Structure 1
Amino acid sequence: MSATPVRRILAVVPLLALLTLSACTANPTLHARRITTAQPTPSAPLPRPSTSPSATAEPAAGSLEWYLSQVPTFPEAPPPQPMQLPATGAAPFWHRLPTDQKVAFITIDDGGLARPPGLIDFIWEARIPVTMFLNSPAAAEHTDYFRQIEAVGGIVENHTITHNSLAGRSYDYQKQEICGAADKLEGLFGKRPTLFRPPFGEHDSTTLKAAHDCGAKAVFHWTETVHEGKVRYQTPEKVVQPGDILLMHFRPALMDDLLAALKAIHRAGLTPALLTEYVR
């Protein structure tokens, strides 16, 4: 079922009152929080519209309304079960979150490439939970943009300063890359990152130690990548599994990537959720 944008609902409130229709209702599920308009009862039919039939035509492909019309409806995400984090001095490294709960996680990396203009409205109106792993220079350059995504439910996490490979580098170098980015992101967004993704997924034991020392609870890889609207599976199972992490980037086709990820998660019988809610 497609979402009904909030701005449209506000625009038709006077008409709905005139026609004595019932008030709008909201479904409490993750994606069904999108507001829908109650249907008129048989005893109070709506008059035939005097406007052109084109008013009810299918939304144009590529429009925000079209993307919203393609979003599946998901059941509510299950209440997070506490993760057992290791008590050692190193953060765990996970390709997928070790859980059997029926959730999967949408993550977006970098932040310095492209920011589609309709993305924020899409995330908000479709209620897409996104975790952003940002380089601190990109976050500093486009802070307002990422704050808007934060305001509609996104989370900012750590992806280093320079986006260089960390594997094989000294502890001091890796700690500066991770802690320096964490410090900057905390200053920009008012919250210190608690999750970390190394550039290219490349890491070693020093990375996990430095990430832990910089406040990261866990270090993440991925199980699927999404590019230009196509999901590419990195594991033998060609279906999204509970706890899977889907990786995409701030590229021009990001809205297509988000839609493809949502459809793949829905086909698997899972619900998208925020990583931070399941790693505490």
Structure 2
Amino acid sequence: MFRAVATGALVSLIAGCGAAGDHSATGPAPSPTTSTAVPALDPSASVPATQAGTPEAVTAALAALPETLRRRVPQFPPPPAPTKLTLPTDGKAGLFKRIPTTEKIAFITIDDGWQKDPMAAKLFQAANVPITLFLELNAVDPDPDYFKPLQAAGATIQNHTISHPTMTRLGYDGQKRQICEGADRLAKYYGTRPTLFRPPGGSYNSTTLRAAHDCGMKAVFTWTETTDHGKVFYQRDPHVVQPGDIILMHFRPRFVDDFLAVLKAIHKAGLTPARLEDYVP
């Protein structure tokens, strides 16, 4: 297990995730040729959860995409059987920047939930890969139903606090409220209480890990790559997704480009997406 050595300021800078209350994407504004101009598809037309992931459902979802997107969606083999992580027994949640493995796998995670692109459910169905959503309650509350088709398409919903504060600026009680109430309210919306947590901006301390544990979170996750404006940003050389890496996305205006860039990077590296939850005991 990785030691909690990252500072909040450094990890927040790498993340590209704004300070509390700032959820705007960095960099130039999307051009008229970006995915924001793609005709919206009706999320209510999503394949039911009982059918999602079948060969017929994937074929139908691919066929429903515009040709310009369909040819950008790679297909992956199934991931190998997972090997469970070892979690601490000291009253703190486990902390992981990546999954320690040599298996040819990587992990797709998406934070916040502010931009609700109507193409997301169709893309999730067409890609047919495991995805973990770390959702912020303030972003979810205006339209919690938006995420239900994503859940039906196979995405799992985990915890990212109520209001996206910098956790290291809060004491134990403040951190515990953000984590516990976030998990409780997500359970009411989506039927399952989260057991994984991502601290906003990657900012954490030992109090965060203790509060997360006390709220029923088994593990806290940061990341090894980020994505924005259709590009993948690497924290180390070589610039390639490596086995066990966790990739961070956000629900941002160029969501489609970001998601396709992540799929391409994983596929180019010869890896396949795996489900983060499967590796947690």
TM-score, normalisation: structure 2? 0.76
Amino acid in the other structure paired with 2:95:
F
In 2, are the aligned partners of 1:33 and 1:127 still within 8 Å (CA)? no
Q: Alpha-carbon deviation of 1:219?
A: 0.5
Higher deviation after alignment, 188-197 or 132-141: 132-141
Q: Alpha-carbon deviation of 1:141?
A: 2.0
Matches within 5 A, 1:1-280: 34-35=58-59, 64-112=66-114, 114-280=115-281
Amino acid in the other structure paired with 1:128:
V
In 2, are the aligned partners of 1:31 and 1:128 still within 8 Å (CA)? no
Distance in 2 of aligned mates of 1:134 and 1:31? 29
User: Structure 1 residues 64 and 88, CA, compared in 2 at 3 Å: closer, same or farther?
Assistant: farther
Q: Alpha-carbon deviation of 1:162?
A: 1.0
In 1, are the aligned partners of 2:131 and 2:275 still within 8 Å (CA)? yes
Distance in 2 of aligned mates of 1:100 and 1:216? 26
Query: Secondary structure, in 3 states, of the residue corresponding to 1:219?
Result: strand
Query: Secondary structure, in 3 states, of the residue corresponding to 1:238?
Result: coil
User: Structure 1 residues 193 and 180, CA, compared in 2 at 3 Å: closer, same or farther?
Assistant: same
Distance in 1 of aligned mates of 2:212 and 2:167? 11
Amino acid in the other structure paired with 2:262:
A
Residue 41 of structure 2 is matched in structure 1 by none
Q: Once superposed, what is the RMSD of the aligned Cα atoms?
A: 2.0
Distance in 1 of aligned mates of 2:177 and 2:162? 9
Distance in 1 of aligned mates of 2:119 and 2:88? 40
Higher deviation after alignment, 82-91 or 218-227: 82-91
Q: Alpha-carbon deviation of 1:65?
A: 3.2
Query: Secondary structure, in 3 states, of the residue corresponding to 2:189?
Result: helix
Distance in 2 of aligned mates of 1:191 and 1:120? 19
In the alignment of these two chains, the number of paired residues is: 226
Q: Alpha-carbon deviation of 1:168?
A: 4.0
Query: Secondary structure, in 3 states, of the residue corresponding to 1:141?
Result: coil
User: Could you list the per-position Cα deviations for residues 29-73 of structure 1 after superposition, in whole angstroms to 9, with x for gaps in the alignment?
Assistant: x9998339xxxxxxxxxxxxxxxxxxxxxx9xxx63322211222
Query: Secondary structure, in 3 states, of the residue corresponding to 1:163?
Result: coil
Give ranges in structure 2 of 5+ residues lacking alignment: 1-52
Distance in 2 of aligned mates of 1:170 and 1:81? 34
Amino acid in the other structure paired with 1:107:
T
Query: Secondary structure, in 3 states, of the residue corresponding to 2:166?
Result: coil
Distance in 2 of aligned mates of 1:32 and 1:271? 21
User: Structure 1 residues 31 and 129, CA, compared in 2 at 3 Å: closer, same or farther?
Assistant: farther
Q: Alpha-carbon deviation of 1:177?
A: 0.6
User: Could you list the per-position Cα deviations for residues 117-136 of structure 1 after superposition, in whole angstroms to 9, with x for gaps in the alignment?
Assistant: 21111111221322111111
Distance in 2 of aligned mates of 1:250 and 1:275? 19
User: Could you list the per-position Cα deviations for residues 245-267 of structure 1 after superposition, in whole angstroms to 9, with x for gaps in the alignment?
Assistant: 11111112111111111111111
Amino acid in the other structure paired with 1:75:
P
In 2, are the aligned partners of 1:136 and 1:185 still within 8 Å (CA)? yes
TM-score, normalisation: structure 1? 0.76
In 1, are the aligned partners of 2:73 and 2:126 still within 8 Å (CA)? no
- Ranked by relative contact order (alpha carbons within 8 Å, sequence separation 6 or more), the top structure is 2
